[in-house]
Structure 1
């Protein structure tokens, strides 16, 4: 039985994962962590990871970036593997994640979807060809009006994959409203749309001479991300220290 602590249990994703794991025969949530207590869960809920004294095999994190540093410290202290799904981390926090992964197993992904991770793999093959042919690269992402960070962590992750595949010398641009100049070649534009209840749409656009190639991914339900997080937790429990990603989960090794 894989024992899970749900960090951010009373958030939207926390509740989706709670419902999903309740139907799992070989997994259970033994505790939750959340500042909010407006939801009654079947497991004990603590205000912080430091307060949580329940034994577990892995943490699934879908909380707030502000809570990540404290979460990492506790995971290292207790040798507790962590599936880190929170986005919007600062450079300092990303450095903290890397440092912590030297002491405990951490799986970090800006998007838990198998489709998004497959898209990243496809982009590694497509970008060198299209960038060399002079195609301009743009990303348009759309999310619900309650999302706090913009652009999304997934959009940035896609841009990172594209940049690395193109040679690593591209600049990311989030706003062109103050510029009066033509588009530079070494640029990846990232646009964020926020509205309604959009779960998550990402379009990667390659605009060339007389043609446009678009890779699109649309998420219709948060269950998509919950499924990935649960699979990741099952995979990560018992793993040695190190940094893992969803490609390892998909490959099963």
Structure 2
């Protein structure tokens, strides 16, 4: 059976790549867009519910403001959901978790295999390196159009380190130092954010001690790496029972 993949936000920069990858790997059912049209030959639907009814799985890289609406619509139509949107809050997270009681959802800030391997290593290093000896810092840079900071991937790296250390990121995060901040506290996880040009995505995790430094860095050179990962995840998700999954589940990490 050919799986029909729908793309929310099909006319956007990521939406176009997703549509191309979906058409190559499965069947593109069409998409939604604010502009009212998508790539040539791709059916356009008026809203997420109409798209879901004609799709076996929907891939969604739209905006945090759409998460609750899309969660309700996809749960109502029992359509599996690949969610790559970032920058949402607790209310949106609850909507995702509620929808996952009815449908399978894979939610990830990054669908690149390399980044997800970095997350695994980040957790292991966080566990192995004592926080009073090794200071953890995360540096990320993206294109000038990106609206959320730190990036969802940077936050995911921070959460992985925090999980390895047995703490919550919210209790130890320090983002955007400015002015007279005083000395660095043991156990902090620091974030630095850069924006400029058309950088697709660059993330570095550094553990720095008095006598050594360990660094992990990932650079994305082409947005298609995220699209191809999301489509592969969609093909896998279609066969899964209801629940909330991560890329770690798909990659069997």
Q: Is TM > 0.5 for Structure 1 vs Structure 2?
A: yes
Map residues 164-179 of structure 1 onto 2, 5 A cutoff. 164-169=163-168, 170-179=171-180
- Structure 1 unpaired stretches of 5+: none
Q: What's the C-alpha RMSD, in Å, of the aligned pairs? A: 1.7
Please give the secondary structure, in 2, of the residue aligned with 1:112.
Answer: coil
1:225 counterpart = 2:229: no
Deviation at 1:21, TM superposition (A): 2.3
Deviation at 1:37, TM superposition (A): 3.2
Cα contact 1:139–1:189 (8 A) shared by 2: yes
Map residues 1-253 of structure 1 onto 2, 5 A cutoff. 1-24=2-25, 27-37=26-36, 39-52=38-51, 54-132=53-131, 134-169=133-168, 170-251=171-252
Cα contact 1:30–1:54 (8 A) shared by 2: no
Q: Distance in 1 between matches of 2:219 and 2:121?
A: 16
- Pair 41,69 (structure 1): closer, same or farther in 2 beyond 3 Å: farther
**TM-score, normalised relative to structure 1:** 0.93
- Structure 2 unpaired stretches of 5+: none
Deviation at 1:118, TM superposition (A): 0.7
Q: Distance in 2 between matches of 1:177 and 1:5?
A: 44
Q: Distance in 1 between matches of 2:198 and 2:51?
A: 33
For each residue in 1:129-180, what CA deviation from the matched residue of structure 2 results, as whole angstroms up to 9, or x when unmatched? Answer: 2135610000001111111111100011111111111120551111221443
Please give the secondary structure, in 2, of the residue aligned with 1:45.
Answer: coil
Please give the secondary structure, in 2, of the residue aligned with 1:142.
Answer: strand
Deviation at 1:210, TM superposition (A): 2.6
**TM-score, normalised relative to structure 2:** 0.93
Cα contact 1:31–1:54 (8 A) shared by 2: no
- Pair 53,87 (structure 1): closer, same or farther in 2 beyond 3 Å: closer
Deviation at 1:15, TM superposition (A): 0.3
Q: Alignment length, in residue pairs? A: 250
